[in-house]
Amino acid sequence: MSAFDVGAALPRQKIDILPALTPVIVALVAAPFIGSFSTFLTLTAAGLAMGMMIFTMASGLTLVFGMMDVLNFGHGAFIALGAYVATLVFLPLASWSNADSVALNLGVFVLAVLAAALTSGALGWVFERLIVKPVYGEHLRQILATIGGSIIAEQLLYALFGPDQIPLGLPKTLQGSFVFGEAAVEKYRVVATLVGLAVFAGEMLILNRTRIGLLIRAGVENREMVEALGYRIDRLFVGVFMAGSALAGLGGAMMALYRGQVHATIGGEFLVLCFIVIIIGGLGSVGGSFVASILVALVANYAGFLAPKLALVSNILAMVVVLLWRPRGLYPVSGR
């Protein structure tokens, strides 16, 4: 047999399936304790929806970190920004939202989340140029600069939108629940899950099937080598940063609609959750953060039902348990 067997496929990397199954395992373990099937279904659906929204916010953060080694503490500001932009669309178009037409209802929803994503993405460019660019490669100053940036951004949001909560109602079509027997699943949760799945599918397609995605993955693995091959990785990174901010804005808008109100504190709250998720998933791994988001949300939901006091720290406990099992997260990225 020739050593240069051209026809043979490259040895495929084994896909580690066990971490991906953790949410399923958690669900199966929790099911007998919950007892009633309809409750279990409701909790699981809620957990999936929550997980998808968290994933939307966290995947941008993990890509930005994986690629440029930048931990963006300003990510929360974009989450809050997206939420506020959604109110800018929803409040003037209240008549669309209350209309009986499904098309108008969905139109205002799509318009709001798109506006949130685009605005956040555009301001992500500004943030990257002004705040992050001068401090590449220095962790300490990066953390400080992005925190400073997030303080300024949060204060500007307060100055622009006022310090009070802004109520935000769902469009008529998306209110209410689908009822399966005894189990009720809110319609919006289904929508949120679908949006999250679409984001995940889109990211996976771009990362695995396009040239840009190839470069991004290469940059995550070894930035210097990509630069040495002649690619302007800083431009690529601006793009990734904008995409990450846009995802934060999208997730923020979805979450604000889910909660029915907007306040700037949403940023800090979900930034913490995003950190937990990307630590559990493995810093820099999109697939890992997908699994971790679902895991965290399911654990929080089940714990909230079974032991409400425990639910407050369930995220931290989940993180500790996962890190004891896999110290570098569910899907560690090589080179990190």
Partner 1 sequence: MLLSGDPPRGRALQILIALIVAALALSPFLFPGAKALNTAAKTCVMILLVASYDVLIGYTGIVSFAHVMFFGVGAYGVGLALYGLGASWGALIAGVLIAFALSLALALAIGLFSLRVQSIFFAMVTLAVAYAFNVLASQLSWLTGGEDGRSFKVPLALQPGFKWLDHPILGVQANGKLLAYYLVFAVVVVAFLLLLRVVNSPFGRVLQAIRENPFRAEALGYRTVFHRTLATCISALGATLAGALSALWLRYVGPDTALSFSIQVDVLVMVVVGGMGSLYGAIIGAALFVFAESYLQEAMAALSHLAADARLPLAPALFHPDRWLLWLGLAFVLAVYFAPLGIIGALKPREKA
Pairing of strands 261-262, 166-167: antiparallel
Does position 279 interact with partner 1 (CB under 8 A)? The reply is yes
Residue whose CB is less far from partner 1, 61 or 174: 61
Task: Check the CA dihedral 154-156-157-162 and report its sign.
Answer: positive
Does position 158 interact with partner 1 (CB under 8 A)? The reply is yes
Q: Cα separation of 107 and 101, whole Å?
A: 10
Residue whose CB is less far from partner 1, 172 or 328: 328
Closest CA to 288 of 62, 75, 105, 102: 62
Q: What share of the chain is helix, strand, coil (3-state, %, to 5)?
A: 75, 5, 20
The answer to whether the CB of 330 falls within 8 A of the CB of 280 is: yes
Q: What φ, ψ does residue 8 adopt, rounded to 5°?
A: -70, 140
| Binding mask of the shown chain, residues 162 to 201, with x at each position contacting partner 1 by CB under 8 A | -x--------------------------------------
| ∠ Cα 275 241 60 (to 5°) | 35
Does position 66 interact with partner 1 (CB under 8 A)? The reply is no
Per CB under 8 A, the list member of 320, 321, 325, 335 interacting with partner 1 is 320
Using only the alpha carbons of the chain, give its radius of gyration.
21
CB of 180 to partner 1, least distance (A): 33
The answer to whether the CB of 168 falls within 8 A of the CB of 86 is: yes
Per CB under 8 A, the list member of 71, 99, 122, 197 interacting with partner 1 is 71
User: With CB under 8 A as the contact rule, which of the stretches 15-23, 185-193, 200-208, 305-313 interacts with partner 1?
Assistant: 305-313
Per CB under 8 A, the list member of 256, 276, 299, 330 interacting with partner 1 is 276
Per CB under 8 A, the list member of 316, 321, 325, 335 interacting with partner 1 is 316
Per CB under 8 A, the list member of 319, 322, 330, 333 interacting with partner 1 is 319
Q: Cα separation of 51 and 292, whole Å?
A: 8
CB of 73 to partner 1, least distance (A): 8
**Residue 150: exposure state from Cβ atoms within 10 A (0-12, 13-18, ≥19):** buried
Residue whose CB is less far from partner 1, 156 or 194: 156
Distance separating the N- and C-terminal Cα atoms of the chain = 37
Does position 131 interact with partner 1 (CB under 8 A)? The reply is yes
CB of 140 to partner 1, least distance (A): 6
- What's the DSSP call for residue 284? T
Per CB under 8 A, the list member of 9, 17, 160, 228 interacting with partner 1 is 160
CB of 279 to partner 1, least distance (A): 6
Q: Which residues are near partner 1 by CB under 8 A?
A: 71, 131, 134-135, 139-141, 143-145, 147-149, 151-152, 155-156, 158-160, 163, 268, 271-272, 275-276, 278-279, 283, 309, 312-313, 315-316, 319-320, 323, 327-328
